[in-house]
Structure 1
Amino acid sequence: MTTFDAEAAVDLVWRRQGVWSRAAGDAKRRIVAARRAVAGLTIGAAVAGTAAAGIGENVPARVLAVVAAAALLLVPIVARAASRESVQAWTRLRSVSEALKADVHRHLAGVAPFAGADRDAVLLRRLDALMDDVGDLMGHVVDRAPDARPLPEVSDVPSYLTARVRGQVEGYYLPMARRMATRSERVGRAATTVTVAGALLSATVAVLGDPLGLTAWIGVTATVTTALVGYGAAQRYEHQQIEYARTADQLTRLLAVRAAGQGWADDDAVVAEAERIISLSNEGWMARMIELDGAAQQ
């Protein structure tokens, strides 16, 4: 039977996980940057175009008109970086990263399917199978050097529950739920502020007339509101907040039941359940991102 260096095998997979994680992070940053740029260009075009129309025929007006036209021309170009295909690639990169992370933690904890004497061979076979399934994504990772980082501090099931499960709850899911709630609130507050401004402009024009040309700016406020709401919807802040909070609650309850001796006493079962919850959370919000992006582009 072929023998493997256990430390070398798990370290190899962990280094690969870091590469895929960084690739997924970079892909997400490009998508978010593109969405922000689309919103900014849309708002900039509306403001510049309205300002150009309101200041008459002069050099500043022509400059503003050119700026507005350029911004509108750039919108579809920039939007390509946030296309459905880009979102699909990002979510698949993230899926690979999470699958490798789960295998490393299970291997270090010594639970199924890594509980036998051939655990290192199983780990490497699973790595090969996963890489074979995502060959079309290799262009995202081929030139990336692996990070030199320590393995997770997991050596058995108790340390797994502390480092992996509780660490995910306290270090990732709860902070991310709070972050998504804050971002959702900020976008909503900004959209509401602009909507109120538009309503005030409408009321002013209705009561006092329009000697200052305010009517044109009412349309601008509508465009800004639409851009802000569209950006918030594309980022799925509210949906992500719910998913993160729900997963944190499920994992916390799993830990509590295990600690109280009221269930999940089997080591293989409790680790499998924790990984199932984490996997379902990842798959759920990623599938929702792709689904909603597809609906938006129909």
Structure 2
Amino acid sequence: MTNVDRVAAALAVWQQQSVWSRAATVAKRRIVRGRRALAGLTVAAAVAGTAASQLDGVYQPASRALAVLAGAALALVPVVARSTAREAVHAWARLRSVSESLKAELYRHLARVAPFAGPDRDAVLLRRLDALLDDAGDLAGLVVDVEPAERPLPAVSDVPSYLTHRLVGQVEGYYLPGARRMARRANRIRTATTALTAAGAVLSAVVGVLGDGLGLAAWVGVVATVTTALVGYGAAQQFEHQQIEYARTADQLSRLARIRRDGHGWTDDAAFVAEVERIISLSNEAWMARTLEEDGSQQH
């Protein structure tokens, strides 16, 4: 092939990777929005329903309005739940899997390691692209209207540049920031649930000591419902698990890079690149599988 053909082959894969990555991002955002909406509707129904019952006989118009709000929130739950169904989560996982597979193939090709070390490396790349897209053909409807991002090819032409732009780039630009981000989100969930649990305990104590003359007993149940909704959202989002997975992968990749740079191992280029891609792939598969498993358990 000519030089232009080589660039064209790599660009074809890079553009397809962008398309599938964008489609996966859209799918994930839809799921996250749905989970947040479910939690919000659950909270709204509990708060509005309890307030409506307590205002009944005191201020009828407000009681009726709140009862309508509570009913509407409950009615919307099954509608919103469709965006978080197992089928939607599974489709997102497959979109992301194709995106990550295309990225791995491209980086191997640019680094010129097996199976892209021979003179037919461009043809091999295009054949593997076709195979990946054929396997995911049933998802074509989710990517048909997605435009690829305008971006240059990664600045990788050999294994040293692969180490810099792929391995180090993943560690410093994705895994470490991701671990910190997930840690912050998990901490916010823990703080909120701890505060809600304490509030519920205080309300229960007040009711136990003073009786329910103020109508606080009903709000103990509301606090429990809100806490459960928040815990369920955090569990579905897998913040703590992702934090651990990101940090573990960053550590593995960093140690691998250090061993090679110090000359203590992984001197074979093809084996080194294969190991980097294996670690990245296992990390992606681990937390996506955990997400699917957790989502499945919540569907029953």
Sort the TM-score into its range (normalised by shorter chain): over 0.9
**Taking structure 1 as reference, are residues 67 and 20 closer, same or farther at Cα in structure 2, changes over 3 Å only?**
same
Task: Give the C-alpha shift of residue 55 in structure 1.
Answer: 1.0
How far apart in 2 are the matches of 1:33 and 1:145?
A: 23
Matched, 1:112 2:114: yes
Name the residue aligned to 1:47: 47
Task: Give the C-alpha shift of residue 296 in structure 1.
Answer: 1.7
Name the residue aligned to 1:187: 189
Are the counterparts in 2 of residues 244 and 281 from structure 1 also a CA contact under 8 Å?
A: yes
Q: What does 1:207-246 align with in structure 2 at a 5 Å threshold?
A: 207-246=209-248
How far apart in 1 are the matches of 2:158 and 2:147?
A: 30
Are the counterparts in 2 of residues 4 and 121 from structure 1 also a CA contact under 8 Å?
A: no
Name the residue aligned to 2:268: 266
Gaps of 5+ in 2: none
> Could you report, residue by residue, the CA deviation over 1:139-169 in whole angstroms, capped at 9, with x for unpaired residues?
1111112221111111110010000000000
Task: Give the C-alpha shift of residue 4 in structure 1.
Answer: 7.3
TM-score (norm 1): 0.98
Task: Give the C-alpha shift of residue 294 in structure 1.
Answer: 1.2
Name the residue aligned to 2:22: 22
Task: Give the C-alpha shift of residue 2 in structure 1.
Answer: 10
Q: What does 1:1-298 align with in structure 2 at a 5 Å threshold?
A: 5-57=5-57, 58-298=60-300
Task: Give the C-alpha shift of residue 76 in structure 1.
Answer: 1.4
> Could you report, residue by residue, the CA deviation over 1:242-290 in whole angstroms, capped at 9, with x for unpaired residues?
1111100100000010011000001111000000000011111111111
- Identical positions, percent: 69
Question: What is the number of residues matched between the two proteins?
Answer: 298
How far apart in 1 are the matches of 2:150 and 2:186?
A: 36
**Taking structure 1 as reference, are residues 163 and 3 closer, same or farther at Cα in structure 2, changes over 3 Å only?**
closer
- In the alignment, residue 243 of structure 1 is paired with which amino acid? E
Task: Give the C-alpha shift of residue 208 in structure 1.
Answer: 1.6
How far apart in 2 are the matches of 1:82 and 1:7?
A: 40
- In the alignment, residue 291 of structure 1 is paired with which amino acid? E
Are the counterparts in 2 of residues 46 and 220 from structure 1 also a CA contact under 8 Å?
A: yes
How far apart in 2 are the matches of 1:195 and 1:291?
A: 27
How far apart in 2 are the matches of 1:271 and 1:180?
A: 28
How far apart in 2 are the matches of 1:187 and 1:2?
A: 55
How far apart in 1 are the matches of 2:285 and 2:115?
A: 21
How far apart in 2 are the matches of 1:107 and 1:100?
A: 11
> Could you report, residue by residue, the CA deviation over 1:189-241 in whole angstroms, capped at 9, with x for unpaired residues?
11111111111111111112222111110100000010000000111111111
62-71 or 209-218, which moves further after superposition? Answer: 209-218
Task: Give the C-alpha shift of residue 3 in structure 1.
Answer: 9.6
**Taking structure 1 as reference, are residues 116 and 4 closer, same or farther at Cα in structure 2, changes over 3 Å only?**
farther
How far apart in 1 are the matches of 2:143 and 2:76?
A: 29
How far apart in 1 are the matches of 2:148 and 2:26?
A: 15
- In the alignment, residue 41 of structure 1 is paired with which amino acid? L
Task: Give the C-alpha shift of residue 74 in structure 1.
Answer: 0.7
Are the counterparts in 2 of residues 4 and 120 from structure 1 also a CA contact under 8 Å?
A: no
SS of the residue corresponding to residue 151 of structure 1 reads: coil
How far apart in 1 are the matches of 2:190 and 2:39?
A: 14
- In the alignment, residue 35 of structure 2 is paired with which amino acid? R
SS of the residue corresponding to residue 5 of structure 1 reads: helix
255-264 or 53-62, which moves further after superposition? Answer: 53-62
**Taking structure 1 as reference, are residues 154 and 2 closer, same or farther at Cα in structure 2, changes over 3 Å only?**
closer
**Taking structure 1 as reference, are residues 31 and 269 closer, same or farther at Cα in structure 2, changes over 3 Å only?**
same
> Could you report, residue by residue, the CA deviation over 1:112-133 in whole angstroms, capped at 9, with x for unpaired residues?
1111000000000000011110
Please, what is the CA RMSD of the aligned residues? 1.3
- Structure 1 runs of 4+ aligned residues shifted over 4 Å read 1-4
SS of the residue corresponding to residue 150 of structure 2 reads: coil
